[in-house]
Amino acid sequence: MCAEMALDIADLIIVKKGCPKSATYREAIYKLGEYKVVPSRFAYNFAYIAGLRNFLAHDYLRETIPTLEEFLKSKLADLEKFIRIIEEQA
């Protein structure tokens, strides 16, 4: 859910800036970096969130617990940073 919400927020910001909606979730994150909403290096590193969202949404027959555990151990801070950056922009 958090990955989906971050991507929806990215799409919303892009559209509010008057730009066309991104074709992919990954592109939406890259565009945030391109438009200086988030630092471009962060956008490049955070784009994995699109893959995580897709994995969770479409690979529901596979075991997702190890992937979620890895995210919580090493990537949750990225999501928190994304939220802080977006809050600063608001």
Q: What is the pLDDT along the chain (90 residues), one digit of tens a residue?
A: 888 999 999 999 999 989 888 999 999 999 999 999 999 999 999 999 998 888 888 766 567 778 778 888 888 899 999 999 999 986
pLDDT of residue 62: 67
pLDDT of residue 59: 67
**Which of 25, 28, 32 is CA-nearest to residue 52?**
25
Number of folded domains that form the chain? 1
pLDDT of residue 3: 87
Angle at the Cα of 63 from the Cα atoms of 72 and 58, rounded to 5 degrees: 90
Provide the domain limits for residue 68: 2-89
**Which of 31, 21, 28 is CA-nearest to residue 6?**
28
pLDDT of residue 90: 66
**Which of 60, 56, 68 is CA-nearest to residue 7?**
56
Could you tell me the CA-to-CA distances from 70 to 32, 58, 64, 90 in Å, in that order? 25, 18, 10, 30
